[in-house]
Amino acid sequence: MTVRIGVIGAAGRMGRTLIEAVSQSDGALILAGATERPGSSLIGADAGELAGLGKLGVSIADDVTKIVGDIDVLVDFSSPSATIEHIKACAANNTAIVIGTTGFTAEQDEIITKSSAQIPVCKASNFSTGVNLCFKLLDIAARVLGDDVDIEVLEAHHRHKVDAPSGTALSMGGVVANALGRDLAEVAVYGREGQTGARDRDTIGFATVRAGDIVGDHTVMFAADGERVEITHKASSRMSFARGALRAARWVTEKPAGMYDMQDVLNLK
């Protein structure tokens, strides 16, 4: 079965990569809709030409409601406020959604959860297969190493990324905290400066870099006296995220209403 894909933010870096990845799917996926923000000079342009692929016959729309009835699943890497409007439109049209947006508030997350009672929702902080394998490895490492190590999460992204730490870094910290029976909200330390005193063993530290065109680097360090274990993922292209998101898109269209993540898609739970 060919799955009809809708892409939010078709002219952005991730949007163009998603369109390219759809074109490489050998007919398993087709681009059936694409949007850009209202008022953009690109409204009405051909989505394929924006991605450097030539004409695909899909014009850029300025509102998700104009495409949601023509697609099977919407792929959304936009902003929290925009995604909330998009999932409401999907719920109203019984359309599945894949959400790669990060930085939601608790109230926004609650709206997404409620929508998943009506439609299948696949939401993840990172759709890379490698990153999701790292989540599994982090759970194992934390359980084996226990409370005998200091844990630090280091992440680096391009200068345009607006949230910090990254959603992926927070997810990594959350995996480790859950494995150790800790509440991340209580033990997270976001940066250090000045006379901070000795490190509390229970804390999980986060360090953030924003520079250049770094696609995404993440390292979780488990440091003990005399040895250190590091689990690292480095992305050199957005294509790994796009292919993972489209893998999730194919998977979620066959599922009943509910909340899923990439760990479900990869059968890692």
Question: In the chain, what is the greatest distance between 2 CA atoms, to the nearest angstrom?
Answer: 61
Q: How far is CA 149 from CA 54, 146, 193, 222, in A?
A: 53, 7, 22, 6
Average pLDDT score over the chain: 95
Average pLDDT over residues 224-248: 95
Domains of the chain: 3-123+238-265 (3.40.50.720), 129-235 (3.30.360.10)
| DSSP state letters, 24-41 | TSTTSEEEEEEE--TT-T
What's the pLDDT score for residue 212?
97
pLDDT recorded at residue 26: 85
Confidence tier at 87 by pLDDT (50, 70, 90):
very high
Mean per-residue pLDDT, 255-259: 98
Enter the tokens of residue 198.
């000795």
* For residue 162, pLDDT beyond 90: no
Q: What is residue 269's predicted lDDT score, i.e. its pLDDT? A: 79
Question: Residue 187 is inside which H or E element, if any?
Answer: helix 184-187
pLDDT digits over 122-153, tens only?
Answer: 999 889 999 999 999 999 999 999 999 999 99
Residues designated as active site: 157, 161
What are the pLDDT digits (tens) for 16-58? 999 999 999 988 999 999 999 999 999 999 999 988 888 999 9
Report whether pLDDT(268) > 90: no
